[in-house]
Every structure is written in structure tokens, then in C-alpha cells.
């Protein structure tokens, strides 16, 4: 597997593999010697596994890490733990722990390594703050959230600080098939309201957050239900934030609160514009708390943002507007 990943990385003229390691213990020694710009780290390694190695990296020499993980439930859960510990990105092994099919995702791996090289290291400590309170009697709002690189722990931090009677929440996190269901299940366990991966025809309702499934755009119908689409990618991704936000704005108008979080690229800017054009409110995560200050920066520069806030203040602002 190390040889396959090395070959894929070295095939890009902008990247060079400076070293490899056969386990976590050896990796820590080589990292201190070679001082790489980015590390790819397998979840499953002998002697010291990926999480233990990542913890040590973040404690002694924080640097961008891209996790390599299986798309199994166990592999996905480990990936989310790694993201909370400070990993910047992850790449899925399409067919399991020892699959050589990872060669099929060369382009994705190279792109994520390049993204990681520009990333800020952000760790998210365990623990849940007291959720903010929602005003009584208001249940007409809807919250639309978009995120990419660094997004899973950021989304988690917002959701665990929202109350049980939260307005409906729609979330697009750039994430491949196999991870979104696990992400939704993890959030459902730790949030005070229900969270699930969206399905065709799901009703949008109070106390429910819906996660766009990997590989499909998530949109809203005029009757307040979910419509999933295999339509063309936008911003080279599917699901994308913009189609979700555009349809939410069209259906819910001024009752919409749009939030764009950490991530590379421009996805979400035109979606926030659609929300503001209909009288809704918009928030962008500030640069200091972003892993990658791309999507929020684009939305801010385009003039599509009402508030620029650090991550920890976003739940409170959402509830102020509710």
C-alpha cells in the first residue's frame, strides 16, 4: 500500500514523497528527521495505530495529516475521531482495508494532499457546551449549512450546541459515499435532536437535521420535502452546497439562515447570495477558526455574508435570529 500511494503522489509534478514508514513508531521517527509538509497516515498500522500516531504528531509536531481509511462503519468512525484530533482530510479505500483499488482515487488523493498543504491545524476538544436556548413559539426558520475540508468537526461543534427544538437543519458536507451515513449516525448519538442521512421524500421538520448523502445533490421541494439528484457535479463535487441553498431560499425565503464553514473552493457563495436575495440571513466562519479559509473567504469577498464569526459563536447567532 505504501508503494501504491507513493507512486500516485510522485506521479504529480508538484509533489514528492520524501519518505515512508512501516508503522506508527517508525513514522514518528521519520517525521522528526524529514520534516514533511504533509503526512498521509493509514488508520490501520502495526505497533501504533493511526489514531495513536496522530495524537503524538499533534502533541509534538503539529502538521497537516491526510488519513487513509476504509469506508466501513468502524473505519468511518475512526476517521471522524481523527478529524477531531486535528487531521485535515481523509481518503477512502474503496474496497476495504487492504484493497489495492486505492489507485482509482489518485486524483482525489493528490487534490487532498495539496489542500492539506495549505491548511491550518485546528483541533476540537471533546466535550459539549450547554446548548443555547431558542425563543418559544418560533418554528418557521430553516438552517442550511455547507462545509468541506475540516467540516465534520465544525458541523459537530455547531449541532451539539443547538437545542432539542431546533428549526429544521439541512447539511451538505463534501464527503464520499460510505461516510455520510456514518457521519449522520455519529451526530445523532451526540445531539439533542434527531440526525439522519437524507432520503428521497424525507419531510423537513423541527428537531431534525438531514445530511446530504455522498454522491447525490440534496434539494428541497415546494412541499417541504427532500429531493435527491444524480445531476452534474457543481464545483466538481456532488453533493454541492449551492443547489441545496438555492432551493431552500426559493422555498423558505426570508426564513432561511445560511451558514458556510471551512473548506476549499467557492461552493456555497452563490447559495448564500440566493438566501440574502430572498431576505434570509447568512453567516461565514472566520479565518482564524477555519481549517481551510476558502469557501467562507469567497462568500465574504462576493458580498454574500451578514456575519463573519468564529466557530464557537455561530450557534448563538443562529438562535438569535430564530
- CATH number, domain containing residue 44: 3.40.50.2300
Q: What mean pLDDT comes out for the span 146-169?
A: 97
Domain boundary among 61, 82, 117: 117
Q: Does residue 301 share a domain with residue 193?
A: yes
Q: Which of 174, 217, 235, 242 is catalytic?
A: 174
In a domain, residue 125? The reply is no
Q: Does residue 174 share a domain with residue 75?
A: no
pTM: 0.89
Instruction: Identify whether 7 is a catalytic site residue.
Output: no
Q: Which of 42, 217, 242, 267 is catalytic?
A: 267
Instruction: Identify whether 148 is a catalytic site residue.
Output: yes
In a domain, residue 22? The reply is yes
In a domain, residue 159? The reply is yes
Q: Helix 151-159 and helix 73-85: axis angle, to 10°?
A: 90
Q: Does residue 204 share a domain with residue 300?
A: yes
Q: What's the domain count of the chain?
A: 2
Q: Specify the 3-state DSSP secondary structure of 97.
A: coil
CA–CA separation, 169 vs 217, rounded Å?
Answer: 16
Instruction: Identify whether 267 is a catalytic site residue.
Output: yes
**pLDDT of amino acid 117:** 94
pLDDT tens, residue by residue, 187-216 = 999 999 999 999 999 999 999 999 999 999
Question: Would you place residue 167 in the very low, low, confident or very high pLDDT band (cuts 50, 70, 90)?
Answer: very high
Burial of 135 (0-12, 13-18, 19+ CB in 10 A): exposed
In a domain, residue 213? The reply is yes
Structural contact between residues 274 and 144, judged by C-beta atoms closer than 8 angstroms: no
Q: Does residue 279 share a domain with residue 153?
A: yes
pLDDT tens, residue by residue, 211-257 = 999 999 999 999 999 999 999 999 999 999 999 999 999 999 999 99
Question: For strand 226-229 and strand 217-220, is the pairing parallel, antiparallel, or unpaired?
Answer: antiparallel
Q: Which of 42, 69, 148, 242 is catalytic?
A: 148
**Which ranges in the chain belong to alpha helices (H)?**
2-10, 24-34, 50-60, 73-85, 106-117, 151-159, 180-190, 241-252, 269-277, 295-301, 314-321
Amino acid at each position: 500500500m505504501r508503494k501504491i500511494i507513493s507512486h500516485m503522489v510522485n506521479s504529480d509534478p508538484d509533489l514528492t514523497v520524501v519518505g515512508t514508514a512501516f508503522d506508527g513508531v517508525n513514522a514518528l521517527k521519520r517525521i522528526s528527521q524529514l520534516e514533511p509538509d504533509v503526512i498521509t497516515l493509514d488508520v490501520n498500522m502495526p505497533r501504533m495505530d493511526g489514531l495513536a500516531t496522530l495524537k503524538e504528531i499533534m502533541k509534538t509536531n503539529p502538521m497537516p495529516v491526510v488519513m487513509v481509511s476504509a469506508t466501513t462503519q468502524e473505519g468511518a468512525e475512526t476517521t471522524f475521531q481523527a478529524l477531531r484530533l486535528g487531521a485535515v482530510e481523509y481518503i477512502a479505500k474503496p474496497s476495504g482495508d487492504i484493497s489495492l483499488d486505492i489507485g482509482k482515487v489518485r486524483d482525489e488523493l493528490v487534490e487532498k494532499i495539496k489542500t492539506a498543504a495549505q491548511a491550518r491545524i485546528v483541533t476540537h476538544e471533546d466535550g459539549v457546551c450547554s446548548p443555547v436556548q431558542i425563543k418559544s413559539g418560533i418554528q418557521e426558520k430553516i438552517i442550511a449549512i455547507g462545509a468541506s475540508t475540516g467540516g465534520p468537526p465544525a458541523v459537530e461543534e455547531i449541532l451539539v450546541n443547538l437545542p432539542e427544538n431546533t428549526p429544521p437543519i439541512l447539511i451538505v458536507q463534501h464527503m464520499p459515499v460510505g461516510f455520510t451515513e456514518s457521519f449522520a449516525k455519529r451526530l445523532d448519538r451526540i445531539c439533542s435532536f434527531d440526525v439522519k442521512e437524507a432520503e428521497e421524500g424525507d419531510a423537513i421538520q423541527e428537531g431534525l437535521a438531514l445530511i446530504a448523502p455522498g454522491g447525490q445533490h440534496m434539494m428541497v421541494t415546494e412541499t417541504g420535502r427532500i429531493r435527491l439528484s444524480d445531476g452534474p457535479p457543481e464545483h466538481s463535487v456532488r453533493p454541492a452546497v449551492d443547489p441545496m441553498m438555492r432551493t431552500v431560499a426559493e422555498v423558505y425565503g426570508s426564513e432561511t439562515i445560511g451558514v458556510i464553514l471551512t473548506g476549499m473552493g467557492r461552493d456555497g457563495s452563490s447559495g448564500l447570495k440566493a438566501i440574502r436575495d430572498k431576505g434570509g440571513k447568512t453567516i461565514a466562519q472566520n479565518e482564524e477558526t477555519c481549517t481551510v479559509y476558502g469557501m467562507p473567504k469567497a462568500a465574504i469577498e462576493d458580498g454574500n455574508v451578514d456575519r463573519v464569526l468564529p466557530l464557537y459563536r455561530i450557534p448563538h447567532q443562529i438562535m438569535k435570529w430564530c
